[in-house]
Amino acid sequence: MNAVNAQAVAVQRPEILAPAGDVPSFLAALSAGADAIYLGLKHFSARMQADNFGLTELSRLVDLAHAEQVRVYVAMNTLVKPGETAQIYRLAARLASQVRPDGLIVQDLAFLDLARQAGFEQGLFLSTLANATHPAALSLALKMGANRVILPRELSIDEIRFMAAACPQGLDLECFVHGALCYCVSGRCYWSSYMGGKSGLRGRCVQPCRRLYRQGGRVGVELARSTAAHVARNGPERDRQGQRRDAGKVREHPLKVGKARDGRWFSCLDLSLDVLVKTLRNIPHLVSWKIEGRKKGPHYVYHVVTAYRMLRDNPGDAQARKMAEELLQMALGRATTKARFLPQREKLMPMATDGQTSSGLLAGKIRIEQSGVVTLKPFLELLPQDYLRVGVEDERWHTTLPVTRRVPKGGSLVLRLDRHKTPRAGTPVFLIDRREQELQKLIASWGKRLECLRGRPSRAVAGMPRMPRPVQSKPRADIFVRADLPQGKETRPARKRIQALWLSPKSVQISRTVAPRICWWLPPVVWPSAEEALGRQVRQLWKLGARHFVCNAPWQRAFFPDDDADMDILAGPFCNLANAAALGVLAGMGFAGAFISPELSREDVLALPQQSPLPLGMVLSGYWPVGISRFGLLGVKAEEPFLSPKGEPFWARQYGGNVWLYPAWPLDLTEKRQELVQAGYSFFAHMDEHPPTSVPQMQRKSLFNWEVPLL
């Protein structure tokens, strides 16, 4: 089959791409007729909570899949720390020689260089975490060595078509059709990391977005109480001289902001395009329909894959459509949403109005008998080996437990729980996994075939990756980043500081004399509908003589010429740069310097300048967003404080079409400045964001992960 015909087939018949977090789920995907399966390793995966796979085991599974003409992709979509590049190189070499998968899913630019150096010749697919969200990113991604771009979940069908129309030959596209949604944009969520070193970019997210938050009421009083509890648990925070800081001190007067309300305002429903996938069938370059769920069991994988295969192969068959919808309802996911897929319904946000977004099928509610025994009268028949979840994750009684015997609908099941986990009456119980006998037999038959395959053992990898030569850099003045200039102050900035502005329709309305003196920061996310306007703004500033820009995704380099000697373009902190190999790729793209990821720990931060081929900078202070979202606000009010279950205050602000979420205590590494300068950092940024007046002023500061290992 020639390349033209192959592309035509791909347009008509996109692959059904199934998730697998363990061997039974992998075999369930084969049983359901998946065209491709993606999975993670024991290391460098964005789903480290899944069981994942070792290399020898994986080589057997790949051989089994290839015997059925099923492709296997390995997810290595994680941030790479400074000391991990050699490990990445060796792992990519072993994958190439031992496992032989059909593609790697990556987020870090280091993989684009290291995987090819290691001899991996199959596909390199850019994860949604790489944030290639707008058309101009696609040509640059192809130029940098990517074979496929995975589109963000926030796009509408019109935007997907727009991206496909701009897609260059030689590059494929993949989109999600089913599975969990994150409130924040992939690659732009630091919530879990900011709260203690467990980064979503490293596959360790603890999902703070799923928790219950409170807004309104006597916020100041509640913050004072949470501060007292914080000090009681951890003792008072102290400065470098050991003096007490009164870490969480707030305004003395309580702030009243309406009636107190609780809600899971950032916990999304599951995406389910179901019958709407027919609109995706004939889009050029869109070769893959992806199902999220590497932490799900084989029941989910089998039902969802079967449903989407039926929807793809029988677009005009009403009976097949009905069966597929029934299968999806049986898959034990969360309640579902179309998110922003339908343009005319963009304002329909994917969060539940009642705040209930737990996964699984509601099986019943807890009853407390007079004797104190906890029972469940299920709404549906329960089978042996079914798995139940009591409550939701942030409730003290939350637990999971197996069903050991058949229980008919309306029957009685005694739940044997630890005394400290006794739930309230009425607590919902969810069926989260089911092991049907028929499916178990199918998996067992595939398992027997797998047992006959030997697998290939690991071998030592000779050699080391070529790393870029580090450079010495001269110090720059500090950069202070604002949304706009103070009113009436289009003046020359102070000699030891550089004024920076976020690029926006408002900020570019500036005089010809001032524009060249500003450092212009591009937004962390550029949606397809915003690309044209952003390009015009860049060109307008360029004509005014502006040459100092900060790109907050590597792909934003496409907005600028390649051959201007006066151009000074830096890679911004939202590029999530953390290793010399990725910095080497940026140097080849024409960047003059780079801000490193603010997530790194002290050890990694101090090590990186000695390896970097570019001058490095760091965000030193200010309000760093814990997340950026396109899904809007539902329930919570912008510009007003809201509290986590532990009393931690946050606030939200709208910038353009995105919501930015901020903690009420800023990042502050100013005391580490001299140490950073001695390590080789030559420039620093301060996020000059001003919180709303309704947000309590806290003396508590954050060091991000400076003193915490980044897992």
- pLDDT tens track for 349-403: 687 756 667 788 889 999 999 888 999 999 999 999 999 999 887 788 889 999 9
The average confidence (pLDDT) of the chain is 89
Q: Does 8 score more than 90 pLDDT?
A: no
Higher-pLDDT residue of 236 and 536 is 536
Task: State how far the Cα of 654 lies from the Cα of 689, in Å rounded to an integer.
Answer: 13
CATH fold of the domain at 3-181+269-296: TIM Barrel (3.20.20)
Residue range 327-352: mean pLDDT, rounded: 84
**Residues 6 or more apart from 668 whose CB is under 8 A from it?**
620, 621, 701, 702, 703
Residue 313's pLDDT band, with cuts at 50, 70 and 90, is very high
CATH 2.40.30 residue ranges for the chain:
361-433
Check residue 252 and give its pLDDT. Answer: 38
Check residue 79 and give its pLDDT. Answer: 95
Give the tokens for residue 616: 């490095």
Residue range 236-258: mean pLDDT, rounded: 45
**Cβ proximity of 189 and 266 under 8 Å:** no
CATH 3.20.20.70 residue ranges for the chain:
3-181+269-296
Q: Does 249 score more than 70 pLDDT?
A: no
Give the tokens for residue 447: 């398992």
Check residue 635 and give its pLDDT. Answer: 82
Q: Does 58 score more than 60 pLDDT?
A: yes
Percent of all residues in the chain with a pLDDT value above 90, rounded to a whole number: 74
Lowest mean pLDDT: which of 252-261, 416-425, 678-687? Answer: 252-261
**Max avg pLDDT among 109-123, 202-216, 413-427:** 109-123
Check residue 487 and give its pLDDT. Answer: 58
Q: Which residues pair with 570 in a beta bridge?
A: 550, 593
Residue range 68-80: mean pLDDT, rounded: 96
Check residue 251 and give its pLDDT. Answer: 44
Q: Does 704 score more than 70 pLDDT?
A: yes
How many CB atoms are closer than 10 A to CB 90? 19
Check residue 26 and give its pLDDT. Answer: 97
Residue 463 has, within 13 A of its CA and on its CB side, a CA count of: 12
Domain 478-632+654-687, CATH class in plain words:
alpha beta
- pLDDT tens track for 609-623: 999 999 999 999 999
Residue range 439-449: mean pLDDT, rounded: 97
Residue 256's pLDDT band, with cuts at 50, 70 and 90, is low
Q: Does 247 score more than 50 pLDDT?
A: no
Question: Helix (H, G, I), strand (E, B), or coil: what is residue 126?
Answer: strand
Backbone angles phi, psi at 489, to 5 degrees: -120, 60
| DSSP assignment letter at 702 | B
Taking CB atoms within 8 Å and a gap of at least 24, the contacts of 503-508 are 503/534, 503/537, 503/538, 503/541, 504/537, 504/655, 504/656, 505/533, 505/537, 507/483, 508/537, 508/540, 508/541
- pLDDT tens track for 541-565: 999 999 999 999 999 999 999 888 8
Residue 603's pLDDT band, with cuts at 50, 70 and 90, is very high
Residue 347's pLDDT band, with cuts at 50, 70 and 90, is low
Lowest mean pLDDT: which of 215-224, 286-295, 525-534? Answer: 215-224
Residue range 645-669: mean pLDDT, rounded: 95
Check residue 497 and give its pLDDT. Answer: 87
What CA–CA distances, in Å, run from 135 to 64, 70, 125, 149, 658? 37, 30, 16, 11, 19
Residue range 247-254: mean pLDDT, rounded: 43
Identity at 95, one-letter amino acid code: L
Handedness of CA 353, 355, 356, 358 (dihedral sign): positive
Residue range 460-477: mean pLDDT, rounded: 89
Task: State how far the Cα of 443 lies from the Cα of 453, in Å rounded to an integer.
Answer: 16
Check residue 351 and give its pLDDT. Answer: 77
- pLDDT tens track for 19-42: 999 999 999 999 999 999 999 997
What CA–CA distances, in Å, run from 21 to 88, 240, 335? 21, 45, 22
Give the helix/strand (H/E) hosting 289.
strand 286-291
Task: State how far the Cα of 296 lies from the Cα of 699, in Å rounded to an integer.
Answer: 42
| DSSP assignment letter at 511 | -
Domain 361-433, CATH class in plain words:
mainly beta
Check residue 48 and give its pLDDT. Answer: 46
Q: What is the 3-state secondary structure of 621-674? A: EECCCCEEECCCCCCCCCCCCEECCCCCEEEEEEECCEEEEEECCCEECHHHHH
Residue 231's pLDDT band, with cuts at 50, 70 and 90, is very low
Question: Helix (H, G, I), strand (E, B), or coil: what is residue 292?
Answer: coil
Angle at 690 between CA 688 and CA 695, to 5 degrees: 145
Question: Helix (H, G, I), strand (E, B), or coil: what is residue 127?
Answer: coil
What CA–CA distances, in Å, run from 279 to 111, 260, 266, 409, 561? 33, 43, 28, 39, 37
Task: State how far the Cα of 582 lies from the Cα of 591, in Å rounded to an integer.
Answer: 12
pTM for the model stands at 0.91
Check residue 457 and give its pLDDT. Answer: 87
Q: Does 582 score more than 90 pLDDT?
A: yes
How many CB atoms are closer than 10 A to CB 592? 16
